[in-house]
């Protein structure tokens, strides 16, 4: 005989493995949920799937004109620099934004059918990854066209950064999905937090300039704090991999430190975070059906 | 002795009703949060074991915890105390079409819903034709389900649900859907599940279903098991506890004529409320005319516990011209035999003109019970002689 709902009351240490096993058992449903997520998002719209590309492209145009032209940032190939950061950031916000509401919006299912609840945030992650892949294709196309002028010499940093981002965003997603069930404020709060987070991440400006200014002002601790932002490291990884380092004294785009090592540490840290987030999720999920 | 397939061990479930839902309210109300919080136990110390291939019915009044218990067995809610163990694949028909998405077509939803209920894609492929066939909506299978009528929606959902191949089936009041032929189809399917030796736990208010389907019935009251036994025992207990007390319904009419003192008798004027099928029965009441009236008709109706009309008539239908009334009259209906199956019955009495609104009507003015030796379903007590020959 099998204990029902054992995820919640097995020990803190073994529950995670059990949950992973269960998600694997339900992998087919996960795939179907991802498919549903993608199919329904742009159903009945004329441009359909193209919308997932149009949004970052539009953002790109806005930042390019506002920051590249109006403020006159002297980056060579500034759109590509921007796009590197935006690709990673879009993935991150898609996951966080999507996960926050996923349990609540699937209340009908959660209240009526048993399946590992982790599948809901995971299906958001899956759908976001598909969109990410599309945008990555655009980035690859850009590299093929402008490849000669780009200075990206460590392309393997991109998969490494993605590897760090995956557990990090999944952990955030699990946490937010569960928290939003009992505190609906989370959905509103996360919008503000993401806005702040966007500007404290070197996406539309170069990290080098920021660090230099902090150093010159004698605020080295602040620079450390700034670099402790996981998303800053991920974005820097993306930028280093594709855009690279011009290092011509004027641009200040890039980070001079050991980004690969930082990403490895971040990956390890994120895995711990993911495990904690799953435990939190698992504790909370026993009450989902009654909270909704 | 069949093996135990579900074991519910001292399960308790507490619900906390938070009256404040937002972070702000919780923070500002931290100190006095107690008063904003209400707790109640939806289930308390529920324990039972169910053997494989049995059908268990859960009955009880609204809010007695039966749906909560079903959700705890299904793993949708985690109990606060105790635990549930079970064996084998489980499918829960808690709400039909819960996983349907309006923007997807019927076909896409069949695959999605089947995988929610635990079927693999290959299994769904194999069952697909049978599912569509059962639902009877082949023509619309590639239409988005948001364009479906509610009946079509439910049919498709039920078709998916019954084709999942479960060892344990949990059913929550979903059998009363669709039109009559479809309901019959659903019933047959449930019975087929029983013949195939699957275990069924279902929640219902339809006491007829309990009689027809269950091997065992558990009745809950305020989250506790009060009866655990055969359907006959449980139904008797249920009726005794929850039947609307006769004579407490609102009265209707302008009371130009008023009905007083309605009683059920043994047919010879002695009050009586327990009968066996075939006994004589009388319904007697007094009519008081507050002003002299020429035009009046006196009627009675007998309904069963499901509010199904068992019998009804009045003096006009019987071809009796009543003389003008002033003062008091006594009306007696005598039935020389009541061929009705076991159950509780209610008597409604009324006086009204030939046409127009009634003077006075008392719904469920009195009740009586019929007890029988043999177990029967339905309304009429027919006594067949059964011969089985070669």
Per CB-CB distance under 8 Å, the chain A contacts of B98 are: 108-109, 111-113
Q: What is the pLDDT of residue A32?
A: 87
Q: How many Cβ pairs within 8 Å bridge chains A and B?
A: 102
Q: What is the pLDDT of residue A123?
A: 94
The chain A residue lying nearest B100, using CA atoms, is A109
pLDDT (tens digit per residue) in B86-106? 888 787 777 666 677 878 888
Q: What is the pLDDT of residue A193?
A: 95
Cα(B168)–Cα(B55) distance, integer angstroms: 10
- pLDDT average, residue stretch B186-203: 86
Residue of B50, B59, B57, B47 lying closest to B83 (CA atoms): B47
Domain B251-370 in CATH 3.40.1670.10? no
Give the SS3 label for residue B214: coil
Question: What confidence category does residue A2 fall into, taking pLDDT thresholds of 50, 70 and 90?
Answer: confident
pLDDT (tens digit per residue) in A273-291? 999 999 899 888 877 877 7
Q: What is the pLDDT of residue A81?
A: 87
Higher pLDDT, A48 or A5: A48
Q: What is the pLDDT of residue A19?
A: 83
Token pair recorded at residue B59: 């009955």
Per CB-CB distance under 8 Å, the chain A contacts of B29 are: none
Question: What confidence category does residue A145 fall into, taking pLDDT thresholds of 50, 70 and 90?
Answer: confident
Q: Is A286 near chain B, with CB under 8 Å? A: yes
Segment among B169-178, B210-219, B307-316 with least mean pLDDT: B169-178
Residue B377 to residues A246, B207, B211, Cα–Cα distance (Å)? 88, 10, 7
Q: Is B223 near chain A, with CB under 8 Å? A: no
Domains B4-242 and B251-370 fall in the same CATH topology? no
Q: What is the pLDDT of residue A248?
A: 57
Whether B111 sits inside 8 A of A32 (CB atoms) is yes
Residue A285 to residues A96, A221, A276, B226, B371, Cα–Cα distance (Å)? 18, 39, 14, 30, 48
Per CB-CB distance under 8 Å, the chain B contacts of A114 are: 74-76, 90, 92
Cα(A180)–Cα(A69) distance, integer angstroms: 40
Token pair recorded at residue B176: 């009363």
Whole-model pTM above 0.90?
no
Per CB-CB distance under 8 Å, the chain A contacts of B63 are: none
Non-local CB neighbours of A66 within 8 Å, separated by 6+ positions: none
Per CB-CB distance under 8 Å, the chain A contacts of B71 are: 289
pLDDT(A170) > 90: yes
Q: Is B165 near chain A, with CB under 8 Å? A: no
- Residues within 8 A of A (CB atoms), B 233-262 only: none
pLDDT (tens digit per residue) in B16-75? 776 555 666 666 655 555 555 677 888 888 999 998 888 998 888 888 888 888 888 888
Question: What confidence category does residue B178 fall into, taking pLDDT thresholds of 50, 70 and 90?
Answer: low
pLDDT(A24) > 70: yes
From the centroid of its chain, how far is CA B70? 16
Helices B150-163 & B106-116, crossing angle to 10 degrees? 40
pLDDT (tens digit per residue) in A58-109? 888 888 888 888 888 777 788 888 889 999 999 999 999 999 989 888 887 8
DSSP assignment of B72-106 equals HHHTSS--SEEEEEE-S-EEEESSTTTT--TTSBH
List the single residue in A5, A29, A186 with the smallest CB-CB distance to B115: A29
Side-chain-facing half-sphere of B300: CA atoms under 13 Å? 23
Give how far A274 is from chain B: nearest CA, Å.
Answer: 23
Burial class from Cβ neighbours inside 10 Å (0-12, 13-18, 19+) for residue A60 reads buried
Residue A120 to residues A105, A116, A218, B374, Cα–Cα distance (Å)? 10, 8, 46, 53
Q: What is the pLDDT of residue B22?
A: 60
Per CB-CB distance under 8 Å, the chain B contacts of A112 are: 76, 92, 94-95, 98
CB A145 within 8 A of CB B132: no
Question: What confidence category does residue A138 fall into, taking pLDDT thresholds of 50, 70 and 90?
Answer: confident
Q: Is B101 near chain A, with CB under 8 Å? A: yes
Whether B121 sits inside 8 A of A185 (CB atoms) is no
Domain ranges across chain B: 4-242, 251-370
Q: What is the pLDDT of residue B2?
A: 64
Pairing verdict, β B343-352 and B224-229: unpaired
- pLDDT average, residue stretch B292-316: 86
Token pair recorded at residue B57: 């019915």
Higher pLDDT, B118 or A29: A29
Cα(B91)–Cα(B361) distance, integer angstroms: 48
Q: What is the pLDDT of residue B37?
A: 65
pLDDT (tens digit per residue) in A181-237? 888 889 899 999 999 999 999 998 888 888 888 888 888 888 889 999 999 999 999
- Of all residues in chain A, what percent carry a pLDDT higher than 90? 34
List the single residue in A1, A40, A289 with the smallest CB-CB distance to B87: A1
Q: What is the pLDDT of residue B31?
A: 54
DSSP assignment of B313-362 equals EETTTTT-PPPPEEEEEEEEEEES---B-SEEEEEEEEEE-SSSS-SEEE
Residue of B10, B27, B77 for testing the chain A interface, max A β-carbons within 10 Å: B77
Give how far A25 is from chain B: nearest CA, Å.
Answer: 10
Q: What is the pLDDT of residue A277?
A: 93
List the single residue in B85, B116, B117 with the smallest CB-CB distance to A2: B85
Higher pLDDT, B375 or B224: B224
Give how far B237 is from chain A: nearest CA, Å.
Answer: 30
Higher pLDDT, A87 or B244: A87
Q: Is B103 near chain A, with CB under 8 Å? A: yes
DSSP run (H or E) holding B297: strand B297-304
Segment among A160-164, A207-211, B284-288 with least mean pLDDT: A207-211
Higher pLDDT, A247 or A91: A91
Q: In B17-171, where does DSSP find H-type helix?
A: 23-28, 66-74, 106-116, 121-135, 150-163
Q: Is B86 near chain A, with CB under 8 Å? A: yes
- pLDDT average, residue stretch B169-185: 72
Q: What is the pLDDT of residue B235?
A: 74
φ/ψ of residue A155, rounded to 5: -60, -25
Q: Is A105 near chain B, with CB under 8 Å? A: no
ipTM, 2 decimals?
Answer: 0.74
Higher pLDDT, A33 or A289: A33
pLDDT(A10) > 70: no
Whether B7 sits inside 8 A of A1 (CB atoms) is yes
CB A116 within 8 A of CB A26: yes
Token pair recorded at residue B227: 């009866």
Question: What confidence category does residue B388 fall into, taking pLDDT thresholds of 50, 70 and 90?
Answer: very high
**The residue count for chain A:** 292
Q: What is the pLDDT of residue A92?
A: 96
CATH topology of domain B4-242: Rossmann fold (3.40.50)
| Mean per-residue pLDDT of chain B | 82
pLDDT(B211) > 90: no
List the single residue in B99, B104, B120 with the smallest CB-CB distance to A39: B104
- pLDDT average, residue stretch B125-133: 89
Residue of A217, A208, A195 lying closest to A259 (CA atoms): A208
Segment among A1-15, A171-185, B6-20, B128-142 with least mean pLDDT: A1-15
Pairing verdict, β A2-3 and B81-86: antiparallel
Tell me, letter by letter, the H, E, C secondary structure of chain A. Answer: CEECCHHHHCCCCCHHHHHHHHHHHCHHHHHHHHHHHHHHHCCCCCCHHHHHHHHHHHHHHHHHHHHHHHCCCCCCCHHHHHHHHHHHHHHHHHHHHHHHHHHHHCHHHHHHCCCCCCHHHHHHHHHHHHHHHHHHHHHHHHHHHHHHHCECCCCCHHHHHHHHHHHHHHHHHHHHHHHHHHCCHHHHHHHHHHHHHHHCCCCCCCHHHHHHHHHHCCCHHHHHHHHHCHHHHHHHHHHHHHCECCCCCCCCCCCCCCHHHHHHHHHHHHHHHHHHHHHHHHHHHCCHHHHC
Question: What confidence category does residue B78 fall into, taking pLDDT thresholds of 50, 70 and 90?
Answer: confident
Q: Is A58 near chain B, with CB under 8 Å? A: no
Per CB-CB distance under 8 Å, the chain A contacts of B7 are: 1
List the single residue in B87, B103, B121 with the smallest CB-CB distance to A40: B103
Give how far B239 is from chain A: nearest CA, Å.
Answer: 30
Cα(B115)–Cα(B128) distance, integer angstroms: 12
- pLDDT average, residue stretch B218-227: 88
Pairing verdict, β B343-352 and B360-370: antiparallel
Whether B103 sits inside 8 A of A28 (CB atoms) is no
φ/ψ of residue A11, rounded to 5: -65, 160
Whether B112 sits inside 8 A of A2 (CB atoms) is no
List the single residue in B7, B73, B98 with the smallest CB-CB distance to A113: B98
Residue of B36, B96, B104, B115 for testing the chain A interface, max A β-carbons within 10 Å: B115
Pairing verdict, β B199-203 and B55-59: parallel
List the single residue in B7, B71, B112 with the smallest CB-CB distance to A289: B71
CB B131 within 8 A of CB B166: no
Residue burial A229-256, b: 16+ Cβ < 10 Å; e: rest: ebbbbbbbbbbbbbbbbbeeeebbbbbe
Non-local CB neighbours of A58 within 8 Å, separated by 6+ positions: none
Q: Is B386 near chain A, with CB under 8 Å? A: no
Q: Is A109 near chain B, with CB under 8 Å? A: yes
Give the SS3 label for residue B258: strand
Give the SS3 label for residue B16: strand
Q: What is the pLDDT of residue A49?
A: 76
Q: What is the pLDDT of residue B249?
A: 59
Q: What is the pLDDT of residue B245?
A: 54
Whether A289 sits inside 8 A of B85 (CB atoms) is no
Cα(B57)–Cα(B45) distance, integer angstroms: 18
φ/ψ of residue B346, rounded to 5: -120, 145
DSSP state of B3: P
Order of strands, sheet of B4-18, starting from the edge strand that comes earlier in the sequence = A2-3, B81-86, B4-18, B37-51
- Of all residues in chain A, what percent carry a pLDDT higher than 70? 93
- Of all residues in chain B, what percent carry a pLDDT higher than 70? 87
Whether A1 sits inside 8 A of B23 (CB atoms) is no
């Amino acid at each position: 005989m099998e204990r029902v709902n054992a995820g919640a009351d097995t020990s803190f240490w073994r529950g995670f493995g059990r949950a992973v096993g269960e998600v694997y058992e339900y992998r087919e449903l996960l795939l179907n949920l991802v498919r549903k997520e993608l199919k329904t998002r742009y159903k009945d719209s004329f441009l359909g799937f193209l919308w997932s590309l149009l949004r970052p492209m539009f953002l790109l145009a806005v930042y390019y004109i506002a920051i590249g032209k109006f403020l006159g940032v002297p980056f060579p190939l500034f759109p590509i620099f921007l796009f590197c950061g935006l690709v990673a950031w879009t993935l991150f916000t898609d996951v966080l934004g999507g996960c926050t509401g996923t349990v609540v919006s699937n209340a009908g299912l959660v209240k009526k059918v048993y399946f590992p609840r982790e599948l809901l945030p995971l299906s958001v992650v899956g759908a976001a990854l598909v969109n990410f892949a599309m945008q990555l294709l655009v980035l690859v196309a850009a590299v093929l066209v402008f490849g000669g002028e780009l200075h990206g010499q460590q392309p393997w940093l991109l998969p490494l950064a993605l590897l760090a981002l995956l557990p990090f965003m999944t952990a955030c997603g699990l946490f937010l999905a569960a928290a939003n069930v009992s505190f609906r404020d989370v959905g509103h709060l996360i919008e503000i937090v993401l806005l702040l987070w966007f500007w404290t991440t070197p996406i539309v400006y170069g990290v080098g300039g920021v660090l230099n200014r902090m150093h010159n002002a004698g605020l080295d601790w602040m620079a450390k704090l700034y670099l402790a932002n996981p998303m800053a490291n991920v974005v820097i990884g993306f930028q280093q991999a594709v855009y690279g380092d011009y290092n011509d004294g004027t641009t200040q785009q890039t980070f001079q430190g050991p980004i690969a090592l930082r990403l490895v540490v971040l990956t390890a840290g994120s895995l711990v975070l993911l495990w904690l987030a799953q435990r939190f999720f698992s504790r909370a999920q026993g009450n989902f059906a009654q909270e909704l | 002795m069949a093996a135990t397939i579900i074991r519910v061990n001292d399960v308790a479930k507490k619900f906390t009703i938070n009256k404040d839902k937002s972070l702000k309210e919780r923070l500002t109300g931290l100190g006095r949060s107690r008063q904003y919080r209400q707790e109640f136990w939806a289930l308390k110390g529920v324990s039972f074991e169910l053997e494989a291939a049995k059908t268990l019915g859960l009955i009880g009044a609204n809010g007695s915890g039966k749906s909560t218990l079903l959700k705890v067995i299904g793993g949708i809610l985690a109990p606060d105390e105790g635990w549930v163990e079970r064996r084998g694949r489980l499918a829960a028909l808690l709400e039909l079409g819960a996983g349907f998405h309006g923007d997807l077509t019927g076909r896409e939803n069949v695959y999605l819903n089947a995988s929610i209920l635990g079927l693999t894609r290959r299994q769904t492929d194999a069952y697909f034709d049978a599912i569509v066939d059962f639902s009877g909506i082949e023509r619309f299978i590639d239409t988005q389900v948001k364009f479906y009528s509610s009946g079509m929606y439910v049919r498709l959902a039920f078709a998916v649900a019954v084709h999942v191949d479960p060892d344990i089936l949990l059913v929550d009041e979903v059998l009363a859907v669709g039109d009559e032929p479809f309901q019959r189809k659903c019933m047959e399917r449930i019975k087929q599940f029983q013949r195939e030796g699957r275990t069924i736990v279902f929640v219902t208010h339809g006491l007829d279903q309990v009689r027809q389907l269950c091997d065992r019935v558990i009745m809950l009251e305020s989250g506790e098991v009060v009866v655990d036994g055969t359907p006959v025992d449980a139904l008797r207990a249920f009726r005794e506890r929850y039947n609307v007390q006769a004579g407490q319904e609102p009265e209707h009419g302008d009371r130009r004529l008023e009905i007083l003192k309605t009683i059920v008798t043994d047919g010879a004027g002695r009050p009586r409320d327990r009968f066996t099928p075939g006994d004589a029965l009388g319904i007697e009441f007094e009519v008081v005319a507050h002003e002299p009236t020429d035009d009046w008709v006196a009627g009675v109706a007998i309904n069963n516990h499901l509010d199904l009309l068992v019998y009804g008539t009045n003096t006009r239908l019987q071809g009796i011209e009543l003389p003008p009334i002033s003062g008091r009259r006594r009306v007696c209906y005598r039935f020389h035999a009541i061929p009705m199956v076991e159950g509780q019955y209610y008597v409604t009495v009324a006086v009204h003109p030939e046409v127009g609104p009634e003077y006075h009507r008392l719904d469920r003015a009195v009740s009586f019970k019929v007890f029988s030796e043999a177990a029967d379903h339905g309304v009429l007590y027919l006594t067949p002689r059964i011969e089985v020959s070669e």
